[in-house]
Amino acid sequence: MKGRSQSLQSIILLLAGALSTIYTLILDFTGSKATYRGNLLILGVVLFFLGLYILPSKKHHRKIVYFLFLFPLLFTFAVTVIIPLILGIGYSFTDWTGIRFTKVVGLANYQAMFKDPAFIWSVLITFVFVIINVVMINLVGFLLALLCTVKMRGVAFFRAAYFLPNLIGGIVLGYIWQFVFNNVLMNYMKFSMLSQTKTAMLAIIVVYLWQSGGYIMLIYVTGLTQIPGDVLEAAQIDGATALQTLFKVKLPMIASTITICTFLTLTSAFKQFDVNMALTNGTGSVADFMGSYLSNGTQMLALNIYNTAIAKNNFALAQAKAILFFIILAVISLIQVRISNSREVEM
């Protein structure tokens, strides 16, 4: 009888807390000026957790403790990622101005996006940039890791030196390399790499490789140093050459590390923004693309979305582009992880 009464009290408190919290959120979203919203929200949360606490089961109490510890992280993730994503999907079908929207426009933003040659060009060069960088950064990072796992004096210094560029912010890095390309290298090449679209894209690739190679190197160093020494000794005793040890022993044993590094470089390259903006700001001429002259020859996808929202003040169109960007990145990342995991099993 006591257990039923306690369960009933718990249910009442849970419902009261949930209803109070929902009502507060409704007041907030409808723009109500009621001054009691904050107190009502606090009351709702307190009632909800009190209802959880008085549940008459010790198993429930343990789950409540787990939930309370996870709640700050889950709440932050929901507020900063899940809710903005859901709202962003809705805004992409409206004429949102960044503050409010007046009507639903359906697929008009998506239709305008795919009819824009500048956007299509940004998507294409982003894919080219990603493919080149995923290959080059992982190759350079792995080679540096091999060098930095050799037993010699000063290896810690070299690891720190290779990693150092990653500590420099992308904006600062872009301006530093802009000076290098426009002043230092120009004296030897007789022209600036940033003056032409093709060479400017090559410059962005070089700078991004210089920045990210050391970070990926450290991950590969961690993977290589975790290979058991007796396995390498056994390979040496069996007469395996250095190349055979590399391809038959080391690479299969760091398959999971390769998956992590590929995923990190893939997602990071797709989201490239700061170096692109600081180094070229997306400028560059393209004479004829889809029948149009383009002035955004080096503008990659993230920078295109930013300029659409800020420079052109078209937040609804930018949000539609961002949703497409999210879908592309999510699908490619899932495919990459699935392929890498299947190769891990084979290796």
| % of the chain beyond a pLDDT of 70 | 94
Counted residue by residue, the chain has a size of: 347
User: Looking at the predicted structure, is the pLDDT value of residue 1 above 60?
Assistant: no
* Residue-level pLDDT at 117: 93
User: Looking at the predicted structure, is the pLDDT value of residue 31 above 90?
Assistant: no
The pLDDT tens digits of the residues spanning 315-343 come to 999 999 999 999 999 999 888 888 877 76
Indicate the range of 29-43, 164-178, 210-224, 322-336 predicted with least confidence.
Answer: 29-43
**Residue 239 φ/ψ region, left for φ over 0, alpha for ψ in the -120 to 50 degree band, beta for the rest:** left
Query: Could you tell me the pLDDT band of residue 344, with boundaries at 50, 70 and 90?
Result: low
The answer as to CATH 3.90.1820.10 being correct for domain 111-346 is no
Whose tokens are 């190759």? That residue is 139
Report the pLDDT averaged over residues 211-229: 92
The pLDDT tens digits of the residues spanning 299-308 come to 999 999 999 9
CA distance 14 to 34: 24
Q: What is the mean pLDDT of the chain?
A: 86
CA–CA distances in Å: residue 47 to residues 42, 52, 313? 9, 9, 44
CA distance 347 to 345: 6
Query: Could you tell me the pLDDT band of residue 46, with boundaries at 50, 70 and 90?
Result: confident
User: Looking at the predicted structure, is the pLDDT value of residue 77 above 80?
Assistant: yes
* Residue-level pLDDT at 345: 59
Give the start-to-end residue ranges of the domains of the chain: 2-107, 111-346
User: Looking at the predicted structure, is the pLDDT value of residue 61 above 70?
Assistant: no
* Residue-level pLDDT at 3: 56
CA–CA distances in Å: residue 107 to residues 93, 97, 304, 327? 6, 16, 20, 16
Report the pLDDT averaged over residues 272-290: 88
Whose tokens are 């949102």? That residue is 96
Report the pLDDT averaged over residues 258-271: 91
Nearest to 263 by CA among 324, 219, 293, 308: 219
* Residue-level pLDDT at 32: 72
